[in-house]
Structure 1
Amino acid sequence: MTDQELKSFLDEKYLLYNQPRFIETDPISIPRLFSRKEDIEIAGFLAATIAWGQRPTIIRNAHRLMDWMGYRPFEFVTQGDVEKFDRFGDFVHRTFNGIDCRYFLLALREIYRNEDGLEALFTEGFQHSGSMMEGIFRFREKFLSYQPEIRTQKHVANPMKGSSAKRINMFLRWMVRDNQTGVDFGLWKDIPASALMMPLDVHSGNVARKLGLLKRKQNDWKAVDELTSRLRDFDSEDPVKYDFALFGLGVFEKF
């Protein structure tokens, strides 16, 4: 395909899959349960954190987290004694366990009480350099500054060490991209969609390679940068909209 044909193909698939009817089977269904900004952010961040493996399991375990918070994540995280976090000691999602979950809740408590929340933290990191890579890294430094166990640190991606940061990039897509179709939220106004990076996973990576959009074989940050740069050729203002196209082609069409 020529570049114009490829762009038209991806635009068609983007329009097909960027639709609310696909929300039910996607982790974004968890923050979509809420209307309060802070509830959406916390629910979205936790759902994105455990978004690897089978999607029904991801959604079931994310609902479990919300249920234990009384479906009031912001109130639960920021109010009352921290001893209530102990109930999450039995939580397990793949390698993310109760130790990790309890630390995440403690870190979110500090961030919303003392750092003006997740939006302020990511925005400050991004605006420091204009780079989403550094924005994620600076967020990671703050998030892991409350003395986590070593095992917990691997659950916050570090793009400076080559991680694709798929789940954080997905969360950022949810928060930043506009809400015109009722899928992403468009809550954060000071990070432009043009700066977002692709949430690269096995499905989108394989499809991107088949379409000639990605040459790098590893799904690491260099591949994220290569693919996002290529997609900016098709839409410089909103390159990660093609996440819907590549993921939909891989998961729903087995492209």
Structure 2
Amino acid sequence: MLSSPTSKTDLSDLQNLKVFLDLKVTEYNQPGFIANDPVSIPHLFTRKQDVEIAGFVAAVLAWGQRKTIINKCKEFFNLMDYAPHDFILNHKESDLRRFLSFKHRTFNPTDALYFIEFFRHHYRRSDTLEDAFLEGAKISEPTTESHLITFFNNFFSLPDHPRRTYKHIPTPERKSACKRLNMYLRWMVRKDDFGVDFGLWERIRMDQLVCPCDLHVDRVGRKLGLISRKQTDWRTAIELTENLKKLDPKDPVKYDFALFGLGVEEKF
């Protein structure tokens, strides 16, 4: 059951809540949202593999102020001459030296170099990063929990992986809410006509996606009665998503736009 929200607006009725959030989705799920959000980074590219790589790095680095995140991502891809897939497959050992000074918060050169190593390993045998979320996953499950666990295992399957990089790639097995990877999956999987999300991937369903549960979404979700758990973990993200499915069972994660917009733009 959805609890009554503590907002001044009367949203206790489920239908009223749906109408309210649908309006907010329409307001924020539009091209004007892109420029000031990390999703602007993959939008710099058109080639599928470039979009996948840029989106993944942008999602992982999405920590802190959005302006800083965007600037650090641009710095990262400038080191790849804005051709990430080509750089990944064809760089020389000497080309990697340029990453030795790259840092964003706790993401350091060791992490950057392992990301490049993993991407090179993966794209030498596959033409899409989607495969890394599917190989070994229980693809018929109602959520992407198995996909995220599978990706974690695949990402760290190389024998020389640094353990410090674990902090940047979460997994539901460790009870993480996996907010950045859930955001990345939203970008890659969701399909609509509004141009923010890419909808590049076909084998993960929109109704399997789990809502990214960042600080702002978490706060607004609690205020609207969509979250009751005290802590914020994987089960919290599932609880939020299950309640959003009551509003739209086929595309629950579209409400990420509404919750995030309410939290960041409107200080709801």
When the two structures are superposed, what TM-score results if normalisation uses the length of structure 1? 0.97
Tell me the equivalent position of 1:136. 148
1:82–1:106: 8 Å Cα contact kept in structure 2? no
* Range with bigger deviation, 129-138 or 190-199: 129-138
Code of the residue aligned with 2:191 in structure 1: it is D
1:67/1:194 CA distance change after superposition, 3 Å: same
1:202–1:219: 8 Å Cα contact kept in structure 2? no
* Range with bigger deviation, 108-117 or 96-105: 108-117
| 2:143 matches 1:95 | no
Alpha-carbon separation, structure 1, partners of 2:19 and 2:167: 39
Q: Deviations over 1:133-161 (max 9, x none)?
A: 11111111111112222111111101111
1:211/1:68 CA distance change after superposition, 3 Å: same
| 2:261 matches 1:233 | no
Tell me the equivalent position of 2:67. 56
Shift of 1:83: 3.9
Equivalent residue for 1:71, pick from 68, 82, 96: 82
Equivalent residue for 1:197, pick from 179, 203, 210: 210
Code of the residue aligned with 1:137 in structure 2: it is I
SS of 2:69 mapped into structure 1: helix
Tell me the equivalent position of 2:18. 7
1:86–1:102: 8 Å Cα contact kept in structure 2? no
Q: Deviations over 1:57-95 (max 9, x none)?
A: 100000001111111010001113244223211111000
Shift of 1:127: 4.5
Alpha-carbon separation, structure 2, partners of 1:80 and 1:64: 17
Alpha-carbon separation, structure 1, partners of 2:164 and 2:104: 14
1:207–1:249: 8 Å Cα contact kept in structure 2? yes
Q: Deviations over 1:214-245 (max 9, x none)?
A: 00122210100100001001101000000000
Identity of aligned residues (%): 50
Alpha-carbon separation, structure 1, partners of 2:42 and 2:88: 15
Shift of 1:179: 4.2
Code of the residue aligned with 2:156 in structure 1: it is L
Code of the residue aligned with 2:81 in structure 1: it is G
Tell me the equivalent position of 1:248. 261
1:132–1:197: 8 Å Cα contact kept in structure 2? yes
2:138–2:146: 8 Å Cα contact kept in structure 1? no
Alpha-carbon separation, structure 1, partners of 2:170 and 2:128: 19
Code of the residue aligned with 2:72 in structure 1: it is N
Code of the residue aligned with 1:139 in structure 2: it is F
Shift of 1:128: 4.2
Alpha-carbon separation, structure 2, partners of 1:150 and 1:80: 24
Tell me the equivalent position of 1:216. 229
Shift of 1:254: 0.1
Alpha-carbon separation, structure 1, partners of 2:166 and 2:93: 20
Alpha-carbon separation, structure 1, partners of 2:38 and 2:136: 25
Shift of 1:119: 1.2
Alpha-carbon separation, structure 1, partners of 2:62 and 2:74: 12
Shift of 1:126: 4.3
When the two structures are superposed, what TM-score results if normalisation uses the length of structure 2? 0.92
SS of 1:154 mapped into structure 2: helix
| 2:126 matches 1:112 | no
Corresponding residue pairs, total:
255
Tell me the equivalent position of 2:188. 175
Note the residue ranges of structure 2 that are not aligned, 5 or more in a row: 1-11
Structure with greater contact order relative to length (CA < 8 Å, sep ≥ 6): 2
Code of the residue aligned with 2:172 in structure 1: it is P
Shift of 1:12: 0.6
1:126–1:191: 8 Å Cα contact kept in structure 2? no
Alpha-carbon separation, structure 1, partners of 2:96 and 2:230: 41
